[in-house]
Every structure is written in structure tokens, then in C-alpha cells.
Structure 1
Amino acid sequence: MSKELAGDPAAAARHARFGKLPERIRFEDMTEEAEAGPNSGVNASYNPEGSWNYYSCLALDLGL
């Protein structure tokens, strides 16, 4: 395999850059714990008056 890489400089550059996988990242390093705020989760209330702020419909946007 080294003979193939020596003949083609582009292949050698690709192998140098992508020849091995990156090191594994532990699950503990990928997650972060944060305390929830007082108005989130089970205590969150639904506001029907403000729910239209989060509704998206192309027909309504165009006034159809």
C-alpha cells in the first residue's frame, strides 16, 4: 500500500489528512448538566393567547 501512496502526491495528502479516525470522545464529555429554571418542565403553563406566535403556516403568511 505504501507503494501506491508514494506514486500519487494527492493520494498521499489525502491519506495524511484522512488516514485515521479521530480519537473517541467520552459520553461524559459530550453532555452537560444544568438545573432547570422555575418556569420549565411540569410547572410550565400553556398560554393560548400567545400560541399564535409559534404557529407557522404558509397559507396564513400569504393571507390566503
Structure 2
Amino acid sequence: MEHARTTADPAQRRRSLRFSSLPEPVRLEDTVEEWPAVAHDARSGAYDPDWWLIRMGGL
């Protein structure tokens, strides 16, 4: 014997509307944020992008 639902409480209606579909897909480009590794020192003008390589003995 099956019961037919005639009415649902308001909370159940909100849940079914909220979870009835999947969210919009997120693009990979929107998940990555790029920042420079070393901030530019405008006062001394001594910005060296390879500083870490020299400091760590890579050269």
C-alpha cells in the first residue's frame, strides 16, 4: 500500500528546491590565483627574480 504525498511541510520544500540540482561547475582558471614570489622593491630598485636560486646555491 503506497501513500501519496499531498502536502509537504515548508522546510521539506526548501530542502528539495535547494538540493534538487547540482551546483554550477567551477572553471579551473577561477580556482588559481597567481602572485609574484618576491615583491618589487621600488626604493632600491634591487629586484632580483633569481635571488632564491643564488641564495640556495643553485648557480
TM range (shorter): 0.3 to 0.5
- Higher Rg: 2
* Alignment TM-score, normalising by the size of structure 2: 0.46
Higher relative contact order (CA 8 A, sep 6+): 2
* Alignment TM-score, normalising by the size of structure 1: 0.43
